[in-house]
Amino acid sequence: MSNNKDVIVRLIDVEKEFDGVKVVKKLNLEVREGEFLTLLGPSGCGKTTTLRMIAGFSHATSGEIELEGKNVADLKPNERDVNTVFQNYALFPHMNVEDNIAFGLVEKRVPKAEIKERVAEMIKLVQLEGMEKRKPAQMSGGQKQRVAIARALINRPKVLLLDEPLGALDLKLRKQMQLELKHLQQKLGITFIYVTHDQEEALTMSDRIAVMNDGVMEQIGTPDEVYNHPKTKFVASFVGESNILESYVEAVRGDLLRISLEAGKAVLHAPGFKKEEMIYICVRPENLQLSQTPIEHFSIRGRIIEHIFAGSVIKTVVELINGQRLRVARHPGEEELEVGTYVYVFWNPKKAIIVHTVEEQIYNIIEQNSNRMYKEFVEKYSATTEEV
Ligand SMILES: Nc1ncnc2c1ncn2[C@@H]1O[C@H](COP(=O)(O)OP(=O)(O)O)[C@@H](O)[C@H]1O
Ligand SMILES: [Mg+2]
């Protein structure tokens, strides 16, 4: 394992089982100091479980968790330099804002004068001046969430864990709080590990996103990497909208692949593929184009079945001759194509991304490992023969 100084949280082969069922599988993750890292994935994929293991509320079945380079297996939650903000706020209903925020410091027997000063500083930070004496029942969802954040930050944790903290807010307030939280994190320079199932939220706020599916981290990268270069079919379809097409490589000329799909033929740029390989390709709706006349190298045919108005773009649904439906983003100024019109579907060959399935990736890992094991075996064997 590398020992980079800037890694503040490290998970090594972490697994969690409930009643014999693995809900987090071989998770390896390095979170850098000062980073805004998001765990993104659908409900039930293991995000909360992962966060609870980092916080110390739950023990890993196997693997190791390090905070600032030290294994924290034996540390209780309050002995770890992390704090958690939950979706349901978990405020004390009988206490006012000030007392809720001060709670952690009172517990730690911090001197009264210092508590007062630090609470005032937090109230200013989360913009709740004038609300000091209010009780949770007298505040909006957004205000309550600010109290919860202030209460976690007042302990000056190295890492703040946030589990769907904006999940209970309406869309407009959520968007506003996303920006506020991001600015707060930048200002304080604290490491945030943020959990959400909302891909748009993850793309807006994060420095890096770890995409999880069924207990497996399928990809980690910047929002740009995850959106523009998804590595798996799942990531391509979960992050942003995408059209996934199964195809077969018919011919390879340099980096240009000629592919065959059920609904026709097409071309795309991608290095390193061989003739006769089966591949999944992903084309974003904004990268698909329609034409009533044939386009060179493309023969994918379909029929327009619906136009969905979505503000600045129109999502046109095209049904291919094999029944698969594609979504094409078009602008109001483009040539009007009536429902029922037959069209050719094409794209810029550089704008189609090849995605692998997880099964293929697991297969690659097994293959690498068996190569490694084979090498070790050979090394060991040659060592013993030398001794003889
Ligand atoms: N205490 C528990 N006992 C049994 N199963 C659990 C427990 N906590 C979570 N699970 C299961 O683990 C899986 C992952 O849950 P969770 O981490 O809460 O997912 P997420 O936060 O991504 O929605 C789910 O299938 C959930 O039912
Ligand atoms: Mg959860």
Q: What CATH number is attached to the domain comprising 86? A: 3.40.50.300
- Kindly report the backbone phi and psi dihedral angles of residue 153, in degrees, each rounded to the nearest multiple of 5, phi listed first: -75, -25
pLDDT at 298 (0 to 100)? 96
What is the domain range of residue 57?
Answer: 7-234
Domain boundary among 234, 258, 284: 234
Sheet holding 353-355, edge to edge: 264-269, 256-261, 243-253, 278-283, 353-355
**Gap between the Cα atoms of 265 and 154, Å rounded:** 60
pLDDT of amino acid 1: 46
Residue 359 lies in a domain: yes
Domain boundary among 234, 258, 287: 234
Q: Is residue 215 located within the same domain as residue 302?
A: no
User: Is 37 contained in some domain?
Assistant: yes
Residues 92, 165 share a domain: yes
- My answer on whether 214 and 346 are in the same domain is no
302: tokens are: 């379909």
* Separation of CA 193 from chain center: 11
42 CB less than 6 Å from ligand 1? no
Q: Which of 14, 16, 21, 23 to mutate for ligand 1's pocket (most ligand atoms within 8 Å of CB)?
A: 23
107 belongs to a structural domain: yes
Please tell me whether residues 279 and 195 are part of one structural domain: no
DSSP 302-349: EEEEEEEEETTEEEEEEEETTS-EEEEEE-TTSPP--TT-EEEEEE-G
Is residue 313 located within the same domain as residue 208? no
Residue 143 belongs to some domain of the structure: yes
Q: Is any atom of ligand 1 closer than 6 Å to the C-beta of 49?
A: yes
Strand 62-67's sheet: what is its strand order? Answer: 21-32, 7-18, 62-67, 70-71
Residues 61 and 200 in one domain: yes
- pLDDT score of 381: 56
Residues ≥6 apart with Cβ < 8 Å to 80? 55, 56, 67, 72
Identify the pLDDT of residue 380: 59
Strands 256-261 and 264-269: antiparallel
Domain stop point among 234, 253, 273: 234
pTM of the full predicted structure?
A: 0.85
The CATH number linked to 251 is 2.40.50.140
The alpha carbon of 76 and the centre of ligand 2 are apart by a number of angstroms equal to: 21
Task: Give 155 Cα–ligand 2 centroid separation in angstroms.
Answer: 24
Residue whose structure tokens are 């390090």:
66
> Which residues touch 321 (CB under 8 Å, ≥6 apart)?
262, 263, 264, 301, 302
pLDDT, tens digit only, all 388 positions of the chain: 445 559 999 999 999 999 999 999 999 999 999 999 999 999 999 999 999 999 999 999 999 999 999 999 999 998 999 999 987 778 999 999 999 999 989 988 999 999 999 999 999 988 899 999 999 999 988 899 899 999 999 988 999 999 999 988 888 888 988 998 999 999 989 999 999 999 999 999 999 999 999 999 999 999 999 999 999 999 999 999 999 999 989 999 999 999 999 999 999 998 888 888 888 999 999 999 999 999 999 999 999 999 998 888 999 999 999 999 999 999 888 888 999 999 999 999 999 999 876 556 555 555 555 666 656 656 655 554 444 3
Cα-trace Rg, the chain: 26
**Number of domains into which the chain is organized:** 2
The answer to the question of residue 2 being in a domain is no
In this structure, the answer to whether residues 53 and 76 fall within a common structural domain is yes
Is the CB–ligand 1 distance for residue 215 below 6 Å? no
Q: What's the pLDDT score for residue 388?
A: 36
Considering the domain architecture, whether residues 107 and 190 belong to the same structural domain is answered as yes
First vs last C-alpha separation in the chain:
34
Domain membership flag for residue 1: no
271 and 190 fall within a common domain: no
Token digits of residue 138:
């007298």
Note whether residue 96 is domain-resident. Answer: yes
Same domain, yes or no: 200 and 85: yes
- Ion ligand 2 residues within 5 Å by Cβ: 48
Q: State whether 222 and 318 are in the same domain.
A: no
Residue nearest to atom 6 of ligand 1 (CA): 18
In a domain, residue 358? The reply is yes
Q: Which two tokens stand for residue 115?
A: 């508590």
Q: State if residue 47 touches ligand 1 by the CB under 6 angstroms criterion.
A: yes
Say if residue 199 is in the same domain as residue 257. Answer: no
Atom of ligand 1 nearest to the CA of 24: 14
